[in-house]
């Protein structure tokens, strides 16, 4: 047995933890760049974060131009703003898009150069970054517990990732009550993304005993609670469990890696700008059908967790679950 495991994530988890954001940010700087999208302003969360920073005498600058499938151009603009305004930390508030964008902004602002230099590994090294504090509002990407960001280039339509240990947040404040602002159209894609992260980390050739422990527990939570969370986003037990599953899966796949489903989906959402979880729903059953011979024992285990019998009905079991959360879709639909 030979493996490595390293994710120094600092997770503050629980309802009410969002009230500690100002105190946590104040540990890492005196002027924060708030990276977010427009929805945090509409829900009142942005104002809530601003008041906490003011109470801790932390200055802030708001950069709220992050969209779904975050753009490399937005990252470049945010990095320039960070340097121009003299910010010394980054507070990411929102779904996976602001969290991923914040990583790119922090990296680029600290080290300079072009973003493609880091995406395509034209420069080598373990690059530093400005301190990042994450406040996720969706339970899907797991970005709060790893150092990976996925960014879309609006010119080439490439959707590529960057990954460095320095991009793991100094503190991730994971408050399940914030998930209750998600509209119905968002819940299905993000919760299925969390399910895929857990399954793929377990199925990946890079899996090891540590990543398995996180991935299996995450799958167990998902299998019990994903339908309930989709039926009622105010079901506290279900939402708490799905939020925890997402964070655990994010830490697992950061080390274990993901498999063909994610590799094939990134070009799909990069080119068509569809929700990442929707692309995964279109791809996962088909990719799994063709992948089972590579590791039938693990596919059988995944199938049983989600209500199937063995590897032979793994894809059917996933399709059945997708139907129950109104996520059954096909590539031809897009």
pLDDT digits (tens, 9 = 90+) for 61-71: 999 999 988 99
Q: Could you tell me if 191 and 242 are in contact, meaning their C-beta atoms sit under 8 angstroms apart?
A: yes
Q: Please list, in sequence order, all residues whose beta carbon lies within 8 angstroms of the beta carbon of residue 153, skipping any fewer than 6 positions away.
A: 71, 72, 116, 159, 160, 270
Q: Which pLDDT score is estimated for 110?
A: 97
How large a percentage of the chain has pLDDT more than 70? 100
pLDDT digits (tens, 9 = 90+) for 2-19: 777 777 789 999 999 999
Q: Which pLDDT score is estimated for 9?
A: 86
> Bigger pLDDT: 239 or 125?
239
Q: Which pLDDT score is estimated for 125?
A: 86
DSSP string, 82-103: HHHHT--EEEEEESHHHHHHHH
How large a percentage of the chain has pLDDT more than 90? 91
> How many whole angstroms separate alpha carbon 2 and alpha carbon 157?
38
**Both tokens assigned to 70:** 């975050």
What are residue 89's DSSP bridge partners? 32
Q: Which pLDDT score is estimated for 5?
A: 77
pLDDT digits (tens, 9 = 90+) for 95-135: 999 999 999 999 999 999 999 999 999 998 889 999 999 99
**Both tokens assigned to 331:** 């590539």
pTM of the model: 0.96
Q: Could you tell me if 250 and 145 are in contact, meaning their C-beta atoms sit under 8 angstroms apart?
A: yes
């Amino acid at each position: 047995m030979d493996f490595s495991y390293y994710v120094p994530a600092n997770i503050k988890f629980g309802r009410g933890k969002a009230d500690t954001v100002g105190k946590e940010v104040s540990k890492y700087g005196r002027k924060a760049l708030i990276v977010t999208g427009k929805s945090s302003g509409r829900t009142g969360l942005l104002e809530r974060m601003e008041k906490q920073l003011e109470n801790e005498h932390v200055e802030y600058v708001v950069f709220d131009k992050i969209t779904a499938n975050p753009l490399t151009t937005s990252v470049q603009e945010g990095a320039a703003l960070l340097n121009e305004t003299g910010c010394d930390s980054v507070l990411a508030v929102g779904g996976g898009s602001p969290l991923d964008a914040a990583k790119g902004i922090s990296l680029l602002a600290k080290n300079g150069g072009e973003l493609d230099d880091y995406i395509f590994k034209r420069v080598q090294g373990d690059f530093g970054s400005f301190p990042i504090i994450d406040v996720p509002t969706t339970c899907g990407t797991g970005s709060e517990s790893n150092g990976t960001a996925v960014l879309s280039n609006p010119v080439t339509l490439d959707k590529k990732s960057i990954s460095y240990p320095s991009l793991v947040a100094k503190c991730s404040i994971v408050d399940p009550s914030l998930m209750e602002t998600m509209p119905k159209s968002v819940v299905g894609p993000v919760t299925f993304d969390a399910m895929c992260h857990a399954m793929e980390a377990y199925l990946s050739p890079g899996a090891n005993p540590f990543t398995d422990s996180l991935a299996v527990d995450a799958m167990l939570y998902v299998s019990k609670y994903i339908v309930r969370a989709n039926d009622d986003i105010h079901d506290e037990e279900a939402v708490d469990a799905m939020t925890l599953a997402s964070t655990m899966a994010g830490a697992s796949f950061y080390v274990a890696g993901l498999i063909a489903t994610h590799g094939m989906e990134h070009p799909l959402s990069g080119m068509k700008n569809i929700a990442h979880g929707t692309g995964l729903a279109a791809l996962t059953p088909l990719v799994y059908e063709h992948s089972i011979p590579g590791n039938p024992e693990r596919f059988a285990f995944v199938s049983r967790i989600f209500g199937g019998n063995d590897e032979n009905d793994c894809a059917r079991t996933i399709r059945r679950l997708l139907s129950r959360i109104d996520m059954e879709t096909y590539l031809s639909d897009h």
